[in-house]
Structures are given as C-alpha cells and as structure tokens.
Copies of this chain bind each other. A is one copy, B any other.
Amino acid sequence: MSTKLRAAIVGSTGYGGVELIRFLLAHPYVEITSVISSSASGAPIADGYPHLNQIVTERLDGIDIELIRGKADVVFLATPHGVSIDLSPKLLDAGLKVIDLSGDFRLKDGQVYEQWYKHKPAEASYLDRAVYGLCELFGADVPGAQFISNPGCYPTATILGLAPLAAKRWIDLKSVIVDAKSGVSGAGRGLSQVVHYAEINENFLAYKVNRHQHTPEIEQAIGRLAGEEATITFTTHLVPMTRGIMSTIYVNLKQARSEDEIFDLFRSYYEGRSFVRIRDKGKYPGTKEVFGSNYCDIGLSLDSRTGRLTIISVIDNMVKGAAGQAIQNLNLMMGWDETTGLTFTPVYP
C-alpha cells in the first residue's frame, strides 16, 4: 500500500465525488486516503451513500489544508463552482497535485468566466497554471503538470465531436449548432424542483437556452484547435434518465466532402485513442452504449440534400464527462498508461 499514490477527494458527498471513489477503488496504483466534505464532516460516508457499505468505511474529513497535505499526494476537487477558486491555490501552494473537476479554471479569460458564471474569476497566475485536460486533444500538456482543470461534461462530448473538423478547418465555425441532451445526474445531488422525480419523469425539457456556462468552454477549445474565433449556438436539454449525454451537432462544410472523406478524417484523427469509438456509416450511438464507462462514441451523417454534416457524440456524463476523465488525466500526469483503472465495460442493459 505504501507505494501507492495517495488521493484525497474534496466534495465526496456529491455525485462526482462518489463516482471518483468508484473509479479510484478500481485503480491499481492509487489508494483513497481521505474523503472530504465541508457539509458532512465526521460522518461515515456510507451513511449518505449506503451502496458504499463495507466498501468505504472511512469517516468524512473536513477541509483542512494541513490535514490534506499529511494524507495525500493528489487532490481531486468535485465541488460546486466557486469553491476551487480559493481552494486550489492553497492546495497547490502546499505542494499538492490538484485535479479540479469544477468549471473554475477552465476558461483562460477571467472576464468570460465572470460573464457566464456570475462569479468573480480565479487569480490570473493560477488560471495560467491550469492545464485544460481534454486528454485526446490536449493530453500532451498533462504529463508532469501539477494542476489540471478537468473539462465539463457537455464540452467533452461536443469538442470531441468537432475536433477533427475544427483542427482541419473543414467547417464554417459560425455555422456550428450544438443541440445537447443530458441525464439528470448532471444536476448533482442538490435538491431542486426541476429534478424532483415527479416533475422530470416522463418529461423532456430545454433549459438555459443560449446561456449555458459551458458555451464559452466549447468555443475556447474549438477556437484553439481551429486557430480562429468560434461563436456557436448551444442548447441544453434534460432527459428523464440518470446518466448520459448526447450532443447532436450540425455544421456546414467549407467545401463539399464525401462521407468517406469525413469518416477517414475521424478515424485517423482518433487512431490509437482507446476511449473514442467511431461508429460505422449509418450507425448512431445511444447513450446507454457508454453507460458507466469512459468511452466517447461518435456517429456521422452527411446529408446530400443540404450538404450539412450531423455529428452524434455520446458519453456518460459522470465518467468521460467527469470522474473518468479526471482519472485519465491522473494517469497522463503520472506517466501511466491512460487506460489504467478505466477499462470498465459499459453496463448493458
């Protein structure tokens, strides 16, 4: 045990936190040494999550930098936005590695953060140090980094679906429309009427139309890949299911391409990347096909009538959209194989 990397999880009583626990328990090189919650400190974590009975017997710690420094090498932050802004600098200054699952360090421009998150941004020097860990695209930045900003759920599905086209500049960036749908777990464990069972069961909702805070994160990544500014249309919907995100993405091609060219582009772009799976022509992934796993599955359809390309990209929002990608970043950070501890087969049916 003593040779394992010691991990602490701040925000252990949220859904992101317990999903990190599920994955870290299966990781051969890591041990969880502290589960941390500001709200439930002192109680056994299994009190609030009985599925962890006899699996995680630890009591929850409070947030205490010295305590964390004594117990852990790496800290995962699975906290609501706003918390990491103050906490991450302290953890970094204490010499800890930090993987932040919140949105606080994803946007390089503090003003943009403030505009979309309605919260003062992090200090610029720390923003600069945060490596945006979308592993398949920017994974080269991760090895040796001390501080990772883990991508958002919608951005992960969407950016992976757009990346080959953006990087090759095949698409008109002004034409990008992202119609995204998410299971309810993305809203977290906090109670609210919109995710009260009797309200959202047998219901399908749009929310935050044209004002979701993941919009600039997608634009930043696409812009970086394409080398030009991107302004997209982005709509989010809630699906009456627990897990899963689908981004249905519409783009206009700058010049006519055959469907074969497009498939070739995607296949070669993601060659050798274990967690991106391109479906065959005429096949489209359902969210259940990645349930519980770290895969991002992508289907493509070029409409000969309109010349427009439709991209279907799915992930499990709790895994590739949160905890799984965080572990993938840890693997890259530490120089381990990126699939270590992540080779879960999707749970089907």
How far is B248's CA from A206's CA once the two chains are assembled, in angstroms? 9
How far is B288's CA from A290's CA once the two chains are assembled, in angstroms? 19
A50: contacting residue among B21, B55, B279, CB under 8 A: B279
How far is B43's CA from A328's CA once the two chains are assembled, in angstroms? 33
Copies of this chain, how many?
4
How far is B312's CA from A205's CA once the two chains are assembled, in angstroms? 9
> A207 in the interface, Cβ–Cβ < 8 Å?
yes
Q: Are B286 and A203 in contact (CB under 8 A)?
A: yes
Digitize A179-211: 1 where CB-to-B-CB distance is under 8 Å, 0 elsewhere: 101011101010111011111111111110110
Q: Are B237 and A185 in contact (CB under 8 A)?
A: no
How far is B238's CA from A246's CA once the two chains are assembled, in angstroms? 12
Q: Are B345 and A241 in contact (CB under 8 A)?
A: no
> A41 in the interface, Cβ–Cβ < 8 Å?
no
Known contacts A345-B55, A347-B347; A201/B241 CB under 8 A: yes
Q: In the assembled complex, which residues on chain B have CB atoms less than 8 Å from the CB atom of A242? A: 197-198, 201-202, 349
A115 to chain B, nearest CB (A): 11
Q: How large is the interface on A (under 10, 10 to 19, 20 to 34, 35 or more residues)?
A: 35 or more
A239: contacting residue among B204, B274, B291, CB under 8 A: B204
Residue ID in chain B nearest A179 by CB atoms:
B179
Beyond the given pairs A191-B191, A195-B197, A202-B291, 15 more chain A to chain B contacts, judged by CB atoms under 8 angstroms and listed by A's residue number, are A18-B348, A26-B345, A50-B285, A51-B290, A53-B297, A177-B308, A189-B199, A191-B196, A195-B196, A197-B197, A201-B242, A204-B314, A240-B240, A242-B349, A250-B250
Q: Are A49 and B210 in contact (CB under 8 A)?
A: no
Q: Are B306 and A51 in contact (CB under 8 A)?
A: no
Query: What 8 pairs across the A-B complex have the smallest Cβ distances?
Result: A203-B288, A179-B179, A198-B349, A51-B346, A51-B289, A191-B191, A205-B286, A210-B303
A209: contacting residue among B235, B310, B345, CB under 8 A: B310
> A266 in the interface, Cβ–Cβ < 8 Å?
no
How far is B195's CA from A189's CA once the two chains are assembled, in angstroms? 11
Digitize A156-197: 1 where CB-to-B-CB distance is under 8 Å, 0 elsewhere: 000000000000000000100101010111010101110111
Instruction: Tell me which residues from 77 to 123 in chain A have a Cβ below 8 Å from any Cβ of chain B.
Output: none
